[in-house]
Structure 1
Amino acid sequence: MPPLAGSRPRIGIVGSGIAGLRAAKAILKCKVDARIVLFGDEAHRTYNRPGLTKKRYPLSDALDMMIAEDVKVNGAENDALTWRLGTRVETADLRDRILHLSTGETFEYDGLVIASGVRPRTSVWGNGECGLHAHRTLRGLDDARYIHHRLQAGEKITIVGAGFVACELASLAKEYGCEVLMLEALRSGPFENILGERVSVALGRWLAQHDITFLTGDSARELLCDLQPSHPGPPSDGALFIEAIGSVPNVEWLHGNGLDLSDGVRVDEYMRVAPWANVFAAGDVACYPDPWTPGNLTRMEFWKNAIDTGDLAGRSLASSMGHGPVTSRIGYFPSMSTEVLGLRIQIAGNPRMSDAMEIVCGDLDQLDQGVLVAYLREGAMIGAAYMDKGARFNSAYIKLLKSLRER
């Protein structure tokens, strides 16, 4: 279905997060003369989601404004784009190239980028309450504003989960002076699904050493809700109770198009959604061929992954419309970093696919003195992790990164 004679092509981008914005900017850079429309559920233009858990703010009547200012993303004020904020895409007909919007409108497109991201997983249904708690999650700017206000009041906080959001939130709560309880019923400690049990247990000890009550297994399970549908009436416990137990890809609006939506949206190495030549996906929702473990697919929820796959999806879409050469395939080098209670944690490559690990430097019983870990698969290194309060083994970590990049 070519665009009408004399009219500009229309490109729809579903998702106003960083992946969607970077896709839009890549298309503009390729000088595609098209009308680009970004659809976003939230009322805010693109902002830095990882920044929502990384900073303590002073008491102020302007707290909401300070948070919003801190997480601004350069380029989000781009008026070359048409922003449809607070507008949800309800369904898509990829064959006829039509999006059905929450406003009752339809949007016909010539090219489409799926960057709808993920939403927090939760253990309750309905109104988000069980018999004991009002369950909260932290995904968006509005969530962060509410939670920072509660933490500033020094309230006791219970956090379910031990992933990146959970650990960063626990660290932030301690900075605010809160009493923190963390519950992880399924694993031995933080980041176990990525870094393995030995490192996870060591990180759990690190939390406990910093006055966080960290419970696992049955001890945690006893304090969790019964996972039944929500009960009527208000919760009986007013403490702040936050679930950070993973995420769910936002793909329901794509049902009925014959796509593989078992783990996000499956794409090829150019971020194209087969069999559609004009549809691409990027960011947290995209499941693509893993360049580090051939024959496997991967879906990553890191900020850098959203930037890199957004750029690639935008360039690929532009190329499909005759602007620019065929783009290079996905070559994303996975890397991320966080800080938990003063401990800097850096991860590179794909440790979760390893079958063995080696301690290169340091001791897991003394994380603050630095520990460098290599992750192997069939004897070849495929990942690395570095934990330290300083930079004792930084040169050794850089050397490992160079080895990974040259694979």
Structure 2
Amino acid sequence: MTKLNRIVVVGASLAGLRAIQALRAENFAGDITLIGAENHAPYNRPPLSKSVLDGDDDITLPGAELLDSDWLRGRRATALSTVDRAVVLDDGSDVRFDGLVIATGARPRGFTTPPGGVHSLRTVDDALALRAELAAGPSHLTVIGGGFVGSEVASTARRQGIAVTLIDAGIHPMAATVGERAARWLARHHERHGVELVSGVRASGFDGESRVTAVRLNNGSAIPTSLVVAGTGVEPNTDWLRESGLKLDNGVVCTSSLFAAGESAIVAAGDVARWSHPLYGGALVRVEHWANANEQGAVAARNLLAGPEAAEDYSAVPSFATNVHGARIQIAGLPALGDAERVLIDDPAEDRLVVAFTARDVIVGAVAVNAPKELIRLKRAISARAAAAEIAA
């Protein structure tokens, strides 16, 4: 393969930082340029919907302080030429490369020109703006979307004594992620902690001109409110790649070793990467959580140096975790790929629940509530592609 002399990393978040750290650990002697749309140093995103809203500003990512002068802060990539091997920036200049790491993450799905008081939550600036509003003591918060961010914000707001309504389009919050049984538990858990759940409907718009006064629903009703957080999911940041010739389909489509399809010097990592997962029969998978970006950025960078023929597959078991109203919820694998659920532990007295998910009688995912040891055991079983008969509690 061609020797790499200049590597460009687009995306200055967790996956991008880990890629740079891996390049240095491998003693890459060429030039490294990091391009980041934000002016902040790479930071930890999971606290933004939890501790940051409570006033804790510690979002430090170890190693971010060591980034050198080849870091273009506040600069957005607008296009990629795979022919010229150049990343075009928002000021019209370009940065040449012979190796590229795409780590541009994802952005929130939102509403077109919402009134004041309607927030999304993806960046530290988003979190600080929302924190100021929560500190002002709103009479009511409406959270649109009961996924990870929505559930965490609802939990934080209730802990602060704020009235909360949670709107979710599904039968129960996070049903598509954690399955029916765990989603029913989560719904009851929200309600036990004072969250009003409105399920099976979608937000269609807002009342209020300069400031939101209500959220309109697609069933014709409205929820009066003084503050809104839209946790309606994210979409990968691939707009800048539309004319690049790279294969895009809900992210940058990659091989099992994270090379962009058809490319030998371009890799992708983190929320933007959709790769062929060896553990799931080569199914294309995109994972939006911290652990994936943390591990994948380093593997992508090492594979870029090694080249496609010597690269390692990225076959890690996806794993996610969150805290909602004091409960630890952990997920391993991909429960959504299961065709059957099996409850292994259901202990209401201790608020413990463990559910395994199988596809064609092979374990593919697991959800554990306040049961970390069981989650570790099931994660190992997923990695080993254990049969359902082997996972009895």
Q: State the TM-score, normalized to the length of structure 2.
A: 0.89
Rounded to whole Å, the distance in 2 between the matches of 1:111 and 1:236 is 47
SS of structure 1 residue aligned to 2:274: strand
Rounded to whole Å, the distance in 1 between the matches of 2:178 and 2:53 is 31
SS of structure 2 residue aligned to 1:28: helix
Match of 1:272 in 2: 259
Which blocks of at least 5 consecutive residues in structure 1 are unaligned? Answer: none
Which blocks of at least 5 consecutive residues in structure 2 are unaligned? Answer: 214-224, 386-393
Alignment of 1:114-133 (within 5 A): 114-122=102-110, 124-125=111-112, 127-129=113-115
Match of 1:9 in 2: 5
Rounded to whole Å, the distance in 2 between the matches of 1:315 and 1:140 is 28
Rounded to whole Å, the distance in 2 between the matches of 1:266 and 1:402 is 27
1:387 aligns with 2:374: no
Offset of residue 96 of structure 1: 0.9
SS of structure 1 residue aligned to 2:376: helix
Offset of residue 394 of structure 1: 4.5
Rounded to whole Å, the distance in 1 between the matches of 2:181 and 2:373 is 24
Rounded to whole Å, the distance in 1 between the matches of 2:262 and 2:379 is 36
Residues 367 and 387, structure 1, Cα contact 8 Å, conserved in 2: no
Residues 27 and 317, structure 1, Cα contact 8 Å, conserved in 2: no
Residues 10 and 111, structure 1, Cα contact 8 Å, conserved in 2: yes
**Is the alpha carbon distance of 1:169 and 1:285 closer, same or farther for their aligned partners in structure 2, counting shifts above 3 Å?**
same
1:215 aligns with 2:198: yes
Match of 1:256 in 2: 243
Rounded to whole Å, the distance in 1 between the matches of 2:277 and 2:161 is 42
SS of structure 1 residue aligned to 2:356: strand
- Larger CA deviation: 372-381 vs 279-288: 372-381
Rounded to whole Å, the distance in 2 between the matches of 1:307 and 1:394 is 20
SS of structure 1 residue aligned to 2:190: helix
Match of 1:22 in 2: 18
Rounded to whole Å, the distance in 2 between the matches of 1:281 and 1:402 is 26
Match of 1:369 in 2: 351
Rounded to whole Å, the distance in 2 between the matches of 1:234 and 1:140 is 23
Match of 2:91 among 96, 100, 103: 103
Match of 1:225 among 204, 211, 230: 204
Offset of residue 236 of structure 1: 5.0
Offset of residue 355 of structure 1: 0.3
Residues 368 and 387, structure 1, Cα contact 8 Å, conserved in 2: no
Offset of residue 134 of structure 1: 4.2
Report the residue type matching 1:386 in the other structure: A
Using the aligned pairs only, state the percent identity.
33
Alignment of 1:80-229 (within 5 A): 80=68, 82-122=70-110, 124-125=111-112, 127-129=113-115, 134-155=117-138, 156-184=140-168, 186-218=169-201, 221=202, 224-226=203-205
Offset of residue 78 of structure 1: 1.5
1:340 aligns with 2:328: no
SS of structure 2 residue aligned to 1:204: helix
Rounded to whole Å, the distance in 1 between the matches of 2:78 and 2:265 is 20
Offset of residue 24 of structure 1: 1.0
Report the residue type matching 1:371 in the other structure: L
Match of 1:309 in 2: 296
Match of 1:326 in 2: 310
Aligned residues: 373
Offset of residue 179 of structure 1: 1.0
Rounded to whole Å, the distance in 2 between the matches of 1:394 and 1:248 is 30
Residues 368 and 374, structure 2, Cα contact 8 Å, conserved in 1: no
Q: RMSD of the alignment, in Å?
A: 2.3
Match of 1:37 among 33, 38, 49: 33
Report the residue type matching 1:346 in the other structure: Q
Q: Provide, for residues 145-183 of structure 1, a one-character-per-residue CA deviation record: whole Å limited to 9, x for no partner.
A: 111111122212111000000001111111222111111
Q: State the TM-score, normalized to the length of structure 1.
A: 0.86
Residues 77 and 87, structure 2, Cα contact 8 Å, conserved in 1: yes
Rounded to whole Å, the distance in 2 between the matches of 1:98 and 1:163 is 37
**Is the alpha carbon distance of 1:9 and 1:142 closer, same or farther for their aligned partners in structure 2, counting shifts above 3 Å?**
same
SS of structure 1 residue aligned to 2:255: coil
Q: Provide, for residues 194-229 of structure 1, a one-character-per-residue CA deviation record: whole Å limited to 9, x for no partner.
A: 1222321221111011101111124xx4xx3348xx
SS of structure 2 residue aligned to 1:225: strand
SS of structure 2 residue aligned to 1:196: helix
Report the residue type matching 2:66 in the other structure: N
**Is the alpha carbon distance of 1:307 and 1:158 closer, same or farther for their aligned partners in structure 2, counting shifts above 3 Å?**
same
Rounded to whole Å, the distance in 2 between the matches of 1:259 and 1:56 is 37
Residues 291 and 332, structure 1, Cα contact 8 Å, conserved in 2: no
Residues 35 and 81, structure 1, Cα contact 8 Å, conserved in 2: no
Match of 1:76 in 2: 64
Higher normalized strand content (fraction of residues) = 2
**Is the alpha carbon distance of 1:2 and 1:315 closer, same or farther for their aligned partners in structure 2, counting shifts above 3 Å?**
closer
